[in-house]
A and B are shown apart, each in its own frame.
Chain A
Amino acid sequence: MTPTPEEAPKPQGAARLYVAPSRYRTRKTILNDALPYLAISPTVVTFAVLLGIPLVVLFATSMQKFGLFELLNNVTTWVGLDNYYQVLFQTPAGLPDFVTVVIRTTVFMIVNVTLTITLGTLIALLLEKLNKWVRLILTGTMILAWAMPVVTGVVLFQWLFDSKLGVVNWAISSTGIFGNYLNHSWFATGLTTFTVITLLIVWQAIPFVALSIYAGLLSIPRELSEAARVDGGSERQIFRHITLPSVAPLMMMLIFLSVIWDFKVFTQIYAMSLNAPDNTMTLSVYAYVIGISDQQYGYAAAASVVMMLLLLFALVPYIRRMINSLEDQ
Chain B
Amino acid sequence: MSRTARRVALNGIGLLAAFFFAFPVYWMVNTAFKSADQFQTYVPVFIPDFTLDNFTKALNQPHFIDFVRNSVFVSFFTVLLALVVGFLSAMALARLRFRGRKGFLLLVAVAQMAPFEALLIPIFLTIRNGLPGPLGFLPIGYNQVPTLILIYFIFTLPFTIWSLRGFVAGIPVDLEEAAMVDGASRFQAFYKVTLPLLAPGLVATSIFCYITSWNEFLYANTFMSEQTNYTLPVWLVSFRTFLGTDWGATMAASTLFTLPVLFFFLIIQGRMVGGLAAGGVKG
Which residues of chain A have a CB within 8 Å of any CB of chain B?
1-3, 7-9, 11-12, 15-22, 35-37, 39-40, 42-44, 46-47, 49-51, 53-58, 61, 71, 123, 126-127, 129-131, 134-135, 137-138, 140-157, 159-160, 162, 164-165, 167, 170, 182, 203, 205-208, 211-212, 215, 250, 253-254, 257, 260-261, 264, 266-267, 270-271, 274, 283-284, 287-288, 291-292, 297, 300-301, 304-305, 307-308, 311, 315, 318-319, 322-323, 325-326, 329
Contact = CB atoms under 8 A, between A and B. Distances in A.
Given A21-B96, A141-B18, A159-B250, 17 more contacts: A8-B180, A17-B96, A20-B173, A37-B98, A51-B114, A126-B14, A130-B11, A144-B25, A147-B266, A149-B261, A151-B237, A152-B236, A170-B43, A208-B281, A284-B117, A287-B117, A301-B121
Nearest to B168: A18
B56 to A, nearest CB: 19
8 contacts: A35-B92, A47-B157, A137-B18, A146-B269, A207-B21, A212-B273, A257-B280, A307-B118
Contact of A159 (B176, B222, B247): B247
Contacts of A11: 186
A283 B25 CA distance: 30
B262 interface: yes
B17 A287 contact: no
B107 interface: yes
Interface string B253-283: 0100110011001100100111011011110
A3 B183 CA distance: 13
B177 interface: yes
Contacts of B65: none
B63 interface: no
A36 B92 contact: yes
B40 A165 contact: yes
A17 B89 CA distance: 11
Given A15-B186, A159-B31, A319-B110, A61 B121 contact: yes
Contact of B95 (A20, A211, A325): A20
Interface string B39-64: 11111100000000000000000000
Interface residues of B, number: 108
Nearest to A261: B282
A130 B10 contact: yes
B35 interface: no
A3 B17 CA distance: 56
Contacts of B104: 40, 44
B194 interface: yes
A153 B122 CA distance: 29
B98 A36 contact: yes
A152 B28 contact: yes
Contact of B173 (A19, A257, A260): A19
B203 interface: no
B101 A292 contact: no
5 cross-chain pairs, A with B, having the tightest CB-CB distances, nearest first? A147-B265, A36-B98, A57-B122, A141-B21, A18-B95
B199 interface: no
Nearest to B108: A43
Given A144-B21, A300-B121, A326-B105, A22 B97 contact: yes
B174 A308 contact: no
Contacts of B91: 17-18, 39
A297 B121 contact: yes
A44 to B, nearest CB: 8
Residue of A18, A152, A274 with most partner-chain B CB within 10 A: A152
Given A39-B88, A129-B10, A319-B110, A61 B125 contact: yes
Contacts of A49: 131
Given A147-B265, A287-B121, A292-B124, A208 B282 contact: yes
Nearest to B46: A167
